[in-house]
Amino acid sequence: MSASDDQSDVGRVLAGDISAFEGIVRRWQGPLINLAYRFCHDRGRAEEMAQEAFIRAYRALAQWRKDAVFSTWLFALATNLYRSELRRIPASTVPLEDVPEPRDARPSDGGLEDHDRDVTVRRAVGALPAKYREALILFYFHDMDVSTAARSLGLPEGTVKARLSRGREILRSKLPQLLAVPRLKEA
């Protein structure tokens, strides 16, 4: 995905060639749908939210200042939309207190089945208060890059770091057994 492709497509769209927007959609549909999916865990809803994000991007295309990379602007716009959509109609999540611990943290092979553990941790992330959940989602979506996550959320890096730390702290306190498994394995 090249930034110059985005720039040239935006230029063409702003000049009146609507079909050039398809290039932008094709390049960014995967990331935008996947980001939406991380927020709502519902494939259909993720596509609806991503479609709305593209339409809003089309409407606001002239507001993109070229000093920022197009993808940064697009992700910030999409993140903002997803957050407000989720505030309007929250995704169905289990309360943090009700996130089930895995049946046995140490099955016969001494480790927890990866899938069970992944599902439990993801559910626990989904049940976090919105500000910690959003910071964690964006941080891991952007390959653990705090500054990109902060730009997408429109927050200072320090705030995102603090929210990540607090979010992790809550997860550690709720899932101690689960996250301690590798140490038990090593022991």
Q: Using CB under 8 A as the criterion, which residues of the chain lie in contact with another protein when the complex forms?
A: 18-19, 21-22, 25-26, 29-30, 33-34, 37, 43, 46-47, 50-51, 54-55, 58-59, 88, 117-118, 121-122, 125, 136, 140, 143-144, 168, 171-172, 179-183
56: burial class by Cβ within 10 Å (0-12, 13-18, 19+)?
middle
Q: Which is nearer to another protein, 67 or 88 (CB)?
A: 88
Give me the least distance between CB of 67 and another protein, in Å please: 25
Give me the least distance between CB of 105 and another protein, in Å please: 12
Q: Which is nearer to another protein, 21 or 76 (CB)?
A: 21
165: burial class by Cβ within 10 Å (0-12, 13-18, 19+)?
exposed
- The structure tokens listed for 68 are 């920022």
Give me the least distance between CB of 22 and another protein, in Å please: 5
Report how far residue 33's alpha carbon sits from residue 72's, in angstroms, rounded to the nearest whole number: 15
Q: Which is nearer to another protein, 48 or 67 (CB)?
A: 48
Q: Which is nearer to another protein, 101 or 118 (CB)?
A: 118
Give me the least distance between CB of 32 and another protein, in Å please: 9
Give me the least distance between CB of 156 and another protein, in Å please: 22
Q: Which is nearer to another protein, 67 or 109 (CB)?
A: 109
18: burial class by Cβ within 10 Å (0-12, 13-18, 19+)?
exposed
Q: Tell me the torsion sign for CA atoms 176, 96, 45, 19.
A: negative
Q: How many CB atoms are located within 10 Å of the residue 177 CB?
A: 13
3-state helix, strand, coil in the chain (%, to 5): 75, 0, 25
